[in-house]
Each structure stands twice: as structure tokens, then as C-alpha cells.
Structure 1
Amino acid sequence: MAPALIRSHEDLVQYHVSDGSPVEANPPRGYVERYIHSEIYKRYPTINSVVHSHSKAIIPYGITGTSTPVFDIAKHYQADDIPDLLIRNTRLGEALASQFAHSDANEDGTQGESARPAVLMRGHGVTITGTRIEEAVFRAIYMQDNAEIETTSLLLRAAHPSGPNEGSIIQYLSPEEAAGAAGMTQWAWERAWALWIKEVEAVSIYSRE
């Protein structure tokens, strides 16, 4: 259900983390890709929010054949799977969840934290995690913004491939700068979240019952 169509808690559907099955005996119709969420929650106990996005700014980075790591669901299909790129069961959900992993797992296969906050999905979009809702939403919005910035930068470089001062080279963040920026985002979402709440409150299409 789209966010603007939600009117109360009765519109929400609860699912078991263990297998993605609905908690209620006769639940409303839900999304088949709930296994994205359930398998990530199962594997990473510190993850409390998962965003799955079909952002048109991000999708190109999963299909252009660059060196960017991408989850390719085709490698995990079995004979009876529908090849529609959707995460339709726990097996495919587990395959995606494993892409967030680092090498050190607990004895039960779970991991306290994921090594990667986001994973691109070929031809499908991206899945993003966070320790709380605000963090995951912040990451999702700014990942889209960053994808738009990256695309614009690549277009400018292509338009001026041999400019002065090594104009054909995009200057990305250094590893040290990336680490410092990542630390900043641990608290930077607070101001953005307060603004986003005000923006939602100002739009009549959203119900706040």
C-alpha cells in the first residue's frame, strides 16, 4: 500500500521474521517482496529498518556493466522460479541478505551488523538498511540524491573529456573523507527528519490519524 493510502494501524500487515508469513490468519493482501525485509532482519539483529526502492536515478547503476557490485537474482533462480526479478521467497531473500554481509558470522549464522548499508539489484533498484527508521530513510533519500549528482558529473566529464587540470577525472572522496562523512551521518539525519515530518504534515494527501 502506498504511504498516502494508509489511514490507520489497521492498514498495516505484520509478518513473521522467521519465514515472512503473515501473523494474522486472514491478513489483507501484502507485498510479495516482504522476504527482502524478513531475511535481512533475520540475519542482522541490529538492523531495524529496511527500505526497498525502485529509484529511477539509481537503477541505471545496476545495469550499465560498471565495476559497481550488484546483486544479480538470475544467478539464484531455480527451475520453478518466475524470472521477474522479484524476491518471492525466503531462499531469494536470503541470497540478497547475504550481500550485506562481512566475513565474521555468529555460530547461528546471524551477524550483529551488516558491512554494507545498501545493495544494488540488477534491473530492479536498491535495498537499504538502518538501525532505525530515520537512518534508513535518510540513506535512501540521499543515495538517490548522490546518484543524480554522480550522473550529472559523468555527463559533464563526457561533454568536456580533455579540459584543463585533468578535467576528464572526477575527484571522488578519499577513503578518509568517506569515513569521516559516514560518521557525520550518524547524527545528521536528525535535522533532515524534522524537516521531512513538517513537509508530510503540510501535504493534505497524507492522513495523520
Structure 2
Amino acid sequence: MRTTTTASQLIDDLVDANHVLVDRGVLDAYGHVSGRHPDDPEKFLIARNLAPGLVTAADIQVLDLDGGTDDERPSYLERFIHGEIYRARPDVHSVVHSHSASVIPFTISNRPLQAVWHMAGFLGEGVPVYEIREDAGMGSDLLVRTPELGAGLAASLGEGAVALMRGHGSVTVGDSIPHAVWRAVFAELNARALAVAVGLGEVTPLTAEEGIAAAKSNYGQIRRPWELWRAEARAGRRG
């Protein structure tokens, strides 16, 4: 559903995305969302180091894929997540990184996060988990602070839509900001549903074929929730 956009339109979408993701319980005081620059694929736009719920258009920075910027204000420590995923995945035009609470148990247990709901068919039969110890050893703070760690995470993501980060959170990608936000929201909701279902008994996940078919069907409907969530977020800011 990616459409040609201007940098100004992308900034508007980024501001809305930050507030939508807070409203939907995916981001809180932490986490971030970015969009690939529409005029230069070697750059991306992201807020300065700020709580997502406070982001305005004036807070958006332009970074290169190495995490560099001419903006003197502090950038997010984990900006390398975004740069390295954009470097590895030309098809990706938006990245969401979150610490959403419902996802965390699936990063630290042997229960895979898999699609159990047609709205989350993009998760497939199991989401990969990035083990930062393989790249940073046993004593890191689990933050993706360097391009090397960002590249490790991007490799774990592969060609998928979501990767988990052990003891940390997750990363979700899409071909537009609405697409990535939609996936991040339903990854969180699917995690909640799966955790409840596990407590009830045996779980019936989607087959790989069901996941592909559901994801294809849902793709054409992303604008509907995006427009609703955006309107609700803007109304909340006005209130």
C-alpha cells in the first residue's frame, strides 16, 4: 500500500504514528518509529530522543543509515536498528521498535510467537528471536547501540515482518508507516490472545498457508484502521 509521499507528508505520518502507537499500547515512554526518506533511500526520518507521546513535527530528525545527523539534538540510542534494517531491506519503508509488554514473554520462553488470529497472519508459524549475546557477549545492556548490533538484528529479521529481541522487545517493518504501525498493533494483540489461549489449553495456530492468505486479504484494508486510529490520536491531542 506504499504510495509516493513528500517529506512533509512523511513527517505528518510519523507524528501521528508515534501517538497512535502510544494509544494502542505498543509504545510508552520508550520505543520509536521511523520512515525511509521519500527522496533519498539512504536516509530516514525519526523523532529526536523523546517520549513518543510528546513528539511533534518540530522533533523529527533526518538521519543517514549510519545513524548520523546534522541535528545537534540527541538522537535515540538505538537508531542503528532503523539504519541497518533499511540497509538490508530495500523493500522496507517504515520500522517500529517497541518494548510492548505482551510480547516480552515470547522473547524469553520457548513458546514461539505465532499467528493464532487472522489479523496477524503476517506473523506466520513463528517469529525469530534475536539473541544479542551472540554479537555482544554476556554483559551487554541489551540495547542495539552500534551498527554491528543493528546488522545482527536485521539478519535475524531476514525477510520477515517481525523479529523479537530477547529480554528487550521487538521490531516490526512495513512498506509504509501505516503498514508498519498496523503490524505492530496486531503483533501486540496477537501476543495477548496467544498468552490467554495457552492458559486455556491446547492452541490451534494458523497454518503457513492461512497466514499468507490472511495477510494478503488484510493488506488491502490497512487504511481503514489507520484512518480511525489517526483521527482518535489527533482528537486526543486537541483535547
Whether 1:138 aligns to 2:182 is yes
Alpha-carbon deviation of 1:173? 1.4
Name the residue aligned to 1:6. Answer: 55
- 8 Å Cα contact 1:13/1:27 also seen in 2: no
Unaligned runs of 5+ in 1: 102-114, 158-168
Alpha-carbon deviation of 1:4? 2.8
Equivalent of 1:21, from 62, 68, 87?
68
Runs of 4+ in 1 over 2 A off after TM superposition: 65-69
Whether 1:77 aligns to 2:126 is no
Amino acid at match of 1:88: R
Amino acid at match of 1:35: F
Distance across 2 between alignment mates of 1:127 and 1:20: 17
SS of alignment partner, residue 144 of structure 2: coil
Change beyond 3 A, Cα 1:183–1:123? same
TM-score for both structures, normalised by structure 2? 0.69
TM-score for both structures, normalised by structure 1? 0.79
Distance across 1 between alignment mates of 2:217 and 2:62: 33
Name the residue aligned to 1:172. Answer: 205
Name the residue aligned to 1:93. Answer: 150
Q: Quick check: which one's strand share is greater?
A: 2
Unaligned runs of 5+ in 2: 1-49, 113-125
Alpha-carbon deviation of 1:54? 0.2
> After the TM superposition, which of the residue ranges 63-72 and 37-46 deviates more from structure 2?
63-72
Q: Within 5 A, what are the aligned runs for 1:30-69?
A: 30-66=75-111, 69=128
Distance across 2 between alignment mates of 1:174 and 1:78: 36
Alpha-carbon deviation of 1:78? 5.7
Name the residue aligned to 2:17. Answer: none
Amino acid at match of 1:126: S
Name the residue aligned to 2:15. Answer: none
Distance across 2 between alignment mates of 1:3 and 1:121: 20
Amino acid at match of 1:46: D
Amino acid at match of 1:147: A
> After the TM superposition, which of the residue ranges 59-68 and 91-100 deviates more from structure 2?
59-68
Whether 1:126 aligns to 2:175 is no
Distance across 1 between alignment mates of 2:237 and 2:172: 28
Distance across 1 between alignment mates of 2:215 and 2:237: 34
Alpha-carbon deviation of 1:190? 1.0
- Once superposed, what is the RMSD of the aligned Cα atoms? 1.8
How many residue pairs are counted as aligned between the two chains? 176
**Deviations, residues 26-82 of structure 1 (Å, cap 9, x unaligned):** 521111100000000011111110000100000100001335531100110169xx6
Amino acid at match of 2:208: P
- 8 Å Cα contact 1:4/1:205 also seen in 2: no
SS of alignment partner, residue 236 of structure 2: coil
Name the residue aligned to 2:5. Answer: none
SS of alignment partner, residue 203 of structure 1: helix
Distance across 2 between alignment mates of 1:197 and 1:76: 38
Amino acid at match of 2:196: T
Larger CA Rg, structure 1 vs 2:
1
